[in-house]
């Protein structure tokens, strides 16, 4: 059976990209990365791709006159590599509705909060400031509205009394690195579909255990 063809879009160090690279190194994993695209020529994830023998492309947004021409170049690159699923992994550019709709239900993103709470930036600091007991991370299908779309997978992470944004970010990344390959596998195995704006699963075990913090 043919593997799902992935394109991973990054702007930074690419730790979630590395998690996907490691997963794809398993011959039994049902997806493979065809191309890594960065909008920044200094993104550390480009080196990760190169070390893994994966084609890496820089499409620098600063070299385009407007967002539309930049996104047209992204679209052409994705099509040239016969992309079936776009994985945004720390891609720090807001995408226009036209581009998002071209890849509707074929593009996913990871966000460091329990969406729909704490959309946007500084999620860890905001959660700590609000005194919430749990944070988390979310993988979702992308829609034109920022950090919105059908939720595919989430992890719940307790916030410690002495938590800092940095410590919470470190904890969150450990879950992100587990989740992204698992989420892609669900899609590649055909166990996910979208109905009425929500993700519906097939042959997938869903968690039933709740968490309470502080412990009682």
Structural domain contains residue 210? no
Whole domain around residue 85: which residue ranges?
A: 4-201
Structural domain contains residue 207? no
pLDDT single digits (tens) 149-163: 999 999 999 999 999
Structural domain contains residue 211? no
Burial class (CB in 10 A: 0-12, 13-18, 19+), 28: exposed
CB contact set of 14 (below 8 Å; sequence gap of 6+): 36, 43, 44, 45, 46, 48, 49, 89, 90
Structural domain contains residue 206? no
User: What is the model's pTM?
Assistant: 0.96
Q: Which residues are catalytic?
A: 111
How far apart CA 118 and CA 98 sit, in angstroms, is 25
Contact 23, 42 (CB under 8 A): no
pLDDT single digits (tens) 136-194: 999 999 999 999 999 999 999 999 999 999 999 999 999 999 999 999 999 999 999 99
The phi and psi torsions of 158 (rounded to 5 degrees) equal -65, 145
Structural domain contains residue 182? yes
Contact 143, 108 (CB under 8 A): no
Question: What is the model's pLDDT at position 154?
Answer: 97
Structural domain contains residue 215? no
Residue 91's pLDDT band (cuts 50, 70, 90): very high
Q: Based on the structure, what is the number of domains in the chain?
A: 1
How far apart CA 40 and CA 57 sit, in angstroms, is 10
Structural domain contains residue 209? no
Assign residue 117 the CATH number of its domain. Answer: 3.40.50.170
How far apart CA 140 and CA 154 sit, in angstroms, is 9
Structural domain contains residue 137? yes
pLDDT single digits (tens) 25-65: 999 999 999 999 999 999 999 999 999 999 999 999 999 99
């Amino acid at each position: 059976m043919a593997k799902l063809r992935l394109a991973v879009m990054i702007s930074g160090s690419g730790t979630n990209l590395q998690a996907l690279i490691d997963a794809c190194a398993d011959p039994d994993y049902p997806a493979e990365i065809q191309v890594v695209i960065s909008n920044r020529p200094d993104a550390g994830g480009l080196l990760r791709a190169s070390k893994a023998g994966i084609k890496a492309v820089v499409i620098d947004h600063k070299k385009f006159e407007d967002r539309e021409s930049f996104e047209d170049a992204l679209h052409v690159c994705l099509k040239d590599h016969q992309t079936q699923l776009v994985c945004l992994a720390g891609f720090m550019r807001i995408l226009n509705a036209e581009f998002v709709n071209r890849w509707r239900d074929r593009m996913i993103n990871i966000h460091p909060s329990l969406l729909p709470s704490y959309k946007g930036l500084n999620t860890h600091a905001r959660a700590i400031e609000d005194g919430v007991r749990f944070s988390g991370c979310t993988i979702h299908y992308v829609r034109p509205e920022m950090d919105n779309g059908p939720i595919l997978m989430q992890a719940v992470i307790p916030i410690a009394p002495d938590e800092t944004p940095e410590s919470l970010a470190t904890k969150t990344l450990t879950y992100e690195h587990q989740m992204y390959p698992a989420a892609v596998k669900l899609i590649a195995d055909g166990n996910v579909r979208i109905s009425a704006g929500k993700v519906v699963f097939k042959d997938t075990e869903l968690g039933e255990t709740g968490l309470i913090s502080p412990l009682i």
